[in-house]
Amino acid sequence: MAQQHLFDLEPEPWQQDDQAETLVATVVLRDGPSQQLDYSVPDELRDQIAAGCRVKVPLGRGNRSVVGYCVRLENRMAGRPLKPIGEVIDRRSLLSTAMLRLTEWIADYYVCGWAQVLEAVIPAGVRGQAGTRLTTLLSVAADAERRMAELKLPEKQTKVMKVLARAKRPITPTQLAQAAGCGQGPITTLRRKGLIRSQTGRVQTNQAAAQPAVRESHLKLNADQQKAIDAILGTLNRGEHRTLLVHGVTGSGKTEVYIQAIQEVIHFGRQAIVLVPEISLTPQTVERFRSRFGQVAVLHSHLTDAERHWHWQQIAEGKVSVVVGARSAIFAPTPHLGLIVLDEEHESTFKQETAPRYHARDVALQRAQAERIPLVLGSATPSLESWHRAAQKEFTLISMPRRVLDRPLPAVGTIDLRTEIRRTTRGAISRKLHMAMQAALNEEGQVILLLNRRGFSTQIQCPACGFVLKCPECDIALTHHRTQEIALCHYCDYEVPAPSVCPDCDYAGIRYTGLGTQRLEAEVRARFPDVPCLRMDTDTMQGRGAHERALARFRSGEIKILLGTQMIAKGLDFPDVTLVGVINADTALHLPDFRAAERTFHLVTQVAGRTGRGAKGGRVLVQTYSPEHPAIVAAVRHDYAAFAAGELPLREMLRYPPFASMVRMVVRGPVEEVTQAFAQQLVERLQAMLAEKNVDARVLGPAPAPFARLRGRYRFQIHVHGPTSEPLREAVRELVTMKCPDEVQWIADVDPLDML
Ligand code: ADP
Ligand code: ZN
């Protein structure tokens, strides 16, 4: 959130009778003061304006015209003269009243401007009406009937008028000519006579409708699934809001439960929204929904503006029963929502990392409460936030502890890298893992290898002088990418040719160390030269559809070894995968983030869940330097409850979420001292405000952020902890008025997930 300066808040007095009731439009501005401003609605705009429309309004002494959103309309005494609205931009409201309220909540909760939230919620394609074109639209003129009797029209023209009268909405001249079976002649004449009114309007350019797929019938649910569905349907039928946390191990049949619950919702003519992490929006997931329901709208990040606009309209018109999408699909304008499902609810991609920094789970909860419908959260490894709320009985916990068809969970073993690697090999793959791979491949199984670091070498260091090659803008070690022979910054994409001598002391033996997926791929190919192997990470999965194509090759059995970053750890359901190897479980374990252990537990458990899904069974080998770490021990035993029981007391002791609320602020600027000094001012103001209001809160910092410099900007962080978030947010909101030095910016992140 770039902080706005406060300027000319009050609309100028305007010549007007301030005693009478007037129609007052409350407007939030896109660029400008973040307050809500009142304007009067001139008579000629009364029929055009609605809450949820964009408007142009005069601002400041110069009355420059600025764009804003009308968020409220009411007839009342203005109390003081108001400036009038200049222009109404949209012909129809872009959002329902309920959705407007939801956006207001987001602006309030996440401490950002309401207009900024509206801009993020309403897709650009909808605002710009992408995929539509302006054209002439014809309708019957107001007094046409009376005048037709006087004029005694020729037969063709009479027919045209009849056809036009039957049309439900204005149509184009071409459509009219076609329907009336004539040329443009009679139409032009009728327009000249004033019997046909013409106006300019928008029509949708053609969009291919989604193919309703073949319908598959339901599976017969097992006892755990039946219990889960009964609980969901119970709340549905009571017409109340309830959040149900479905804790089901990988492969326990959660998706089948969602599908059958959705079926019930559709039955009553209502819609369902299914939120999944972007990465799970694979054909596999989508196909499962398409094969059961006819009209499914799939909202993913690769849609064009026109496609997004088209989906938005289809959804708003109630033509779509099920919306499947990533985070922002929570804003789908379903007219009659019946159920929200959020799968893999622990995934951090549900949180938006740019303003508005909302978490789709919390927005979903808010929406479900307002619409009085159930919210279903599903995961094999719930976030500790949700788990804690279930323990407090705020959420209803539903357990599905077994895999379907009595398939066992895979056996997980650890390989202690401290002894194993040194003793047996110089590469990344220990002897035990190599042998397990060989055995799996011999038995026609497939192998998944997880390494959560891309590139070839993750560090380039001179052994003579100790120099480490870093990004000049970000202060982060550059990663060697061998395909292009470059050293690359994973933050800002800065790159230099990979050096062969130390840039600092010219020593010729500069060393490339640290393991990335490229190096792992090279090792796998060297160890198993005849086995087809594929690497999946953001470097290889660039183009549209690359992800889908790669998975299709793995599914078909053409590829035997799939290796990659966390993008291969989640959601995949391939029955022939009999071995999963985790190359280094510790990559995230020691990050300066209070969720490091939780993240590690999630990742190892999730990737372990990719095997043993078919009749052949499966096993998992986890290479780690910390086999005794509680997160690893719990993951090895598939024991979520034990992990939570060990971790939660630590969180409570240190006053971290879910036992406290937190706001993280990051102050950035090009000059270190100036940035730090301003961060210090923020801290002092915060402390003063919180003390004044007797809020039990702690303010930590300013301290250099773990990534202390990114893209040439110094970064300082401030952490504010307190028992509840409201007073913290209130205090932070008041900081907006502080004068910020040029080029220094700060953001506030409520309930932060990114701690770097
Ligand atoms: P989860 O979402 O919990 O990982 P899924 O719903 O993907 O589990 O189910 C795993 C596999 O088991 C899928 O291939 C699914 O088709 C199958 N499955 C789910 N429920 C049943 C059932 N009741 N009977 C037979 N197979 C089932
Ligand atoms: Zn950089």
Q: Locate tokens 């792992």: which residue?
A: 520
Q: Which amino acid is at 88?
A: V
* Alpha helix stretches (DSSP H) within 372-497: 384-391, 417-424, 431-442
Per DSSP, the residues of 96-137 read: -HHHHHHHHHHHHHTT--HHHHHHHHS-HHHHTTTTEEEEEE
Q: Which helix (H) or strand (E) holds 299?
A: strand 296-299
Over the stretch 356-366, which tens digit does the pLDDT of each residue have?
999 999 999 99
Query: What pLDDT sits at residue 101?
Result: 95
- Asked if the peptide bond before residue 173 counts as cis, ω within 30 degrees of 0, the response is no
Q: Is 206 helix (H, G, I), strand (E, B) or coil?
A: coil
Query: What pLDDT sits at residue 472?
Result: 87
Contact 707, 722 (CB under 8 A): no
Q: Which ligand 1 atom is at minimum distance from the Cα of 255?
A: 6
- Rounded distance, CA 478 to CA 435, Å? 33
Query: What pLDDT sits at residue 205?
Result: 63
Ligand 1 lined by 125 (C-beta under 6 Å): no
Query: What pLDDT sits at residue 679?
Result: 96
Over the stretch 295-340, which tens digit does the pLDDT of each residue have?
899 998 888 888 888 899 899 989 999 999 999 999 999 999 999 9
Largest CA distance in the chain: 104
- pLDDT of residue 424 exceeding 90, the answer is no
Query: What pLDDT sits at residue 215?
Result: 58
SS percent in the chain: helix, strand, coil, step 5: 35, 25, 40
Output 283 or 147, whichever has higher pLDDT.
147
Query: What pLDDT sits at residue 302?
Result: 80
Q: Which helix (H) or strand (E) holds 462?
A: none
- pLDDT of residue 136 exceeding 90, the answer is no
- Rounded distance, CA 381 to CA 599, Å? 10
Ligand 1 lined by 250 (C-beta under 6 Å): yes
- Helix (H), strand (E), coil (C) string for 45-61: HCCCCCCCCEEEEEECC
Query: What pLDDT sits at residue 15?
Result: 47
Q: Is 461 helix (H, G, I), strand (E, B) or coil?
A: strand
Q: What is the mean pLDDT of residues 595-608?
A: 92
- Tell me phi and psi for residue 127, to 5 degrees: -65, -40
Question: Residue 132: which of 209, 204, 206, 208 has the closest Cα?
Answer: 204
- pLDDT of residue 377 exceeding 90, the answer is yes
Instruction: State what percent of residues in the chain have pLDDT above 70.
Output: 94
- Rounded distance, CA 381 to CA 249, Å? 8
Question: Residue 328: which of 303, 346, 294 has the closest Cα?
Answer: 303
Contact 528, 483 (CB under 8 A): no
172 pLDDT band (50/70/90 cuts)? confident
Question: Which residues on neighbouring strands pair with residue 202, listed in sequence order?
Answer: 134
- Mutation choice for ligand 1 from 573, 605, 607, 638, CB with most ligand atoms inside 8 A: 573
130 pLDDT band (50/70/90 cuts)? low
492 Cα to the center of ligand 2, angstroms: 4
Ligand 1 lined by 255 (C-beta under 6 Å): yes
- pLDDT of residue 261 exceeding 90, the answer is yes
Query: What pLDDT sits at residue 617?
Result: 86
234 Cα to the center of ligand 2, angstroms: 52
* Token reading at 174: 């071409």
Ligand 1 lined by 581 (C-beta under 6 Å): no
Query: What pLDDT sits at residue 5?
Result: 37
Sheet strands (E) in 300-395: 322-325, 337-343, 374-379
Over the stretch 719-737, which tens digit does the pLDDT of each residue have?
999 999 999 999 999 998 8
Count, residues in the chain? 756
Burial class (CB in 10 A: 0-12, 13-18, 19+), 223: exposed
Q: Which helix (H) or strand (E) holds 658?
A: none
- Mutation choice for ligand 1 from 255, 342, 402, CB with most ligand atoms inside 8 A: 255
Over the stretch 86-103, which tens digit does the pLDDT of each residue have?
999 988 889 999 999 999
Q: What is the mean pLDDT of residues 209-218?
A: 57
361 Cα to the center of ligand 2, angstroms: 32
> Using alpha carbons only, what angle is made at residue 35 by residues 29 and 36, rounded to the nearest 5 degrees?
75
Q: Which ligand 1 atom is at minimum distance from the Cα of 380?
A: 3
Question: Which residues on neighbouring strands pair with residue 298, listed in sequence order?
Answer: 324
DSSP label of 19? S
Contact 710, 722 (CB under 8 A): no
Ligand 1 lined by 226 (C-beta under 6 Å): no
Query: What pLDDT sits at residue 499?
Result: 92
pTM of the model: 0.85
287 pLDDT band (50/70/90 cuts)? confident
Query: What pLDDT sits at residue 57?
Result: 95
Output 389 or 455, whichever has higher pLDDT.
389
Question: Which residues on neighbouring strands pair with residue 626, listed in sequence order?
Answer: none
Question: Residue 454: which of 547, 409, 405, 517 has the closest Cα?
Answer: 517
Q: What is the mean pLDDT of residues 601-626?
A: 90
* Cα→Cα distances 601→445, 580, 608, 697, 750, Å: 26, 15, 11, 30, 24
8 pLDDT band (50/70/90 cuts)? very low
- pLDDT of residue 84 exceeding 60, the answer is yes
Give the lowest-confidence range in 189-193, 258-262, 361-365, 522-526. 189-193
Contact 159, 178 (CB under 8 A): no
Q: Which ligand 1 atom is at minimum distance from the Cα of 575?
A: 14
Contact 32, 56 (CB under 8 A): no
- pLDDT of residue 114 exceeding 70, the answer is yes
Give the lowest-confidence range in 275-284, 394-403, 657-666, 732-741. 275-284
Give the closest residue (by CA) to ligand 1 atom 23: 221
- pLDDT of residue 631 exceeding 80, the answer is yes
- pLDDT of residue 391 exceeding 70, the answer is yes
Average pLDDT, the chain: 89
